[in-house]
Amino acid sequence: MEYYTYAYLREDGTPYYIGKGKGYRCNYGTGKNCKPPKDRSRIIKLKQNLTEEEAFRHEIYMIAIFGKKCDGTGILMNIADGGNAPPKICGDMHHMKTEEYRKRVSEKLTGRKGHPAWNKGIPIKEEVRQKIIGEGNGVAQWWKLTFIDSREIVMCGLSNWCKENGYDKSKISALYHKKEGRKKHKDIVAVEKLAQAPTQEALDAL
């Protein structure tokens, strides 16, 4: 029971890499396609005291939840699905082929002799999925919203969802905290903060 799963967080609290390991594995970048954050407070252990099999399963689950940039399913820099699965080269969406990656490389090479900014003028591809915004203690928070017609949705990152869908986060927060006698905001009648990420079965059931 010496294994754990871990995440590297961006400054806004969203994860950019999920892994599994033991000992000091989470602090090293060897064998990964991205570097650990310099700020060690942005390296968090998700679950501890696991067997290797349990750690593999949880790593696979968390990568599936947040999705990978390389195949257009999410926000992680991982190029493997976790567990013992080998890394995948995901066509034009592989991280080394995205415009975002090329732009970073170009900016580093600009001004160096013999290395012009070869991608100047190439538009950055629009994000394939809305960015998950971290809430509360720096770890992305899951929410369940209930609408006046009894529909329910579950999402991770309330702030960004509100911006994308035209809702006022402060009023949804007031509804959650039952402030000012608020009973609804537009067509939302109930707000619930989930203690943990829902299972895939729970998401499919909505």
Report pLDDT digits (tens) over 59-82: 999 999 999 888 888 999 998 888
pLDDT tens digits, 145-194: 999 888 888 877 778 788 878 889 888 888 888 876 778 889 899 999 88
Q: Are residues 88 and 147 in the same domain?
A: no
For residue 66, the enclosing domain spans 3-92
Residue 69 identity (one-letter amino acid): K
Q: Are residues 152 and 83 in the same domain?
A: no
Q: Are residues 7 and 86 in the same domain?
A: yes
Q: Would 43 be classed as within a structural domain?
A: yes
Helix or strand or coil: residue 90?
A: coil
**From the CA atom positions of the chain, what is the Rg in Å?**
20
Q: Residue 28's closest CA among 139, 54, 66, 19?
A: 19
Q: Are residues 87 and 150 in the same domain?
A: no
Alpha helices in the chain (DSSP H): 52-66, 99-109, 158-165, 169-177, 200-205
Q: Are residues 87 and 9 in the same domain?
A: yes
Residue 180 identity (one-letter amino acid): E
Count: domains in the chain: 2
pLDDT tens digits, 120-146: 444 434 443 333 333 443 445 788 899
pTM of the model: 0.46
Contact 61, 55 (CB under 8 A): no
Q: Would 15 be classed as within a structural domain?
A: yes
Asked if residue 6 has pLDDT above 60, the reply is yes
**Which of 77, 92, 107 is the last residue before a domain boundary?**
92
Q: Would 110 be classed as within a structural domain?
A: no
Q: Would 124 be classed as within a structural domain?
A: no
Q: Residue 39's closest CA among 11, 18, 19, 17?
A: 11
